[in-house]
């Protein structure tokens, strides 16, 4: 009888049997609290769940846009100020073909997605640096440029989810039970 099989079996028992024992008290790291998780969980759902307190108007957003966005997205959200910074305004219907450029007006299904995107990723060089009121204002400005809200409409956690985006009904929810 070969001694390899018992050694192999012993090695497997030690390797897989010891792992759970070490995992329970590895002495590494620290438990993460709900407060820690909440700082990183900034997801905004289509229905507005997760939107923070605050508000902003298109006029306030225009000032912030001029300071922090125009270098990349150009005047009036026309795009082309920087590589990859496409237009934020207008756009041909997506039914024109697969090559049609996607914009906020012709593609986004929910206005809350605009807020979520801006808050997570803008300005490009300093993501997550905008205050919530600034994000609401920029969202309002962009929606106003696309004539999806009025020039005097304020966006907040109550009004933003109510904005009806033109492409809202053209998406199929992959997990509707999660919303």
> Dihedral sign, CA of 149, 161, 45, 140?
positive
- The answer on pLDDT for 151 being more than 80 is yes
Average pLDDT, integer, range 129-148: 97
pLDDT of residue 35: 86
Q: How far is CA 63 from CA 58, 67, 140, 141, in A?
A: 9, 7, 12, 9
* Global model pTM greater than 0.75: yes
Supply 167's token pair.
């492409």
Q: How confident is the model at residue 178 (pLDDT cuts 50, 70, 90)?
A: confident
pLDDT of residue 7: 64
């Amino acid at each position: 009888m070969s001694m390899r099989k018992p050694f192999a079996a012993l090695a497997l028992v030690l390797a897989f049997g010891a792992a759970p024992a070490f995992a329970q008290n590895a002495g590494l790291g620290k438990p993460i609290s709900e407060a820690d998780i909440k700082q990183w969980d900034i997801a905004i759902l289509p229905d507005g769940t997760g939107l923070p307190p605050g508000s902003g108007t298109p006029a306030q957003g225009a000032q912030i846009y001029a300071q922090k966005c125009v270098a990349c997205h150009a005047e009036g959200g026309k795009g082309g100020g920087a590589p990859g910074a496409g237009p934020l305004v207008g756009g041909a219907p997506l039914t024109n073909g697969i090559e049609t450029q996607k914009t906020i007006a012709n593609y986004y299904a929910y206005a809350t997605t605009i807020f979520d995107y801006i808050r997570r990723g803008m300005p490009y060089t300093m993501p997550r640096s905008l205050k919530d009121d600034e994000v609401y204002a920029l969202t309002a400005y962009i929606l106003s440029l696309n004539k999806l809200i009025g020039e005097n409409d304020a966006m907040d956690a109550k009004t933003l989810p109510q904005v009806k985006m033109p492409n809202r009904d053209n998406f199929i929810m992959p997990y509707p039970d999660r919303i």
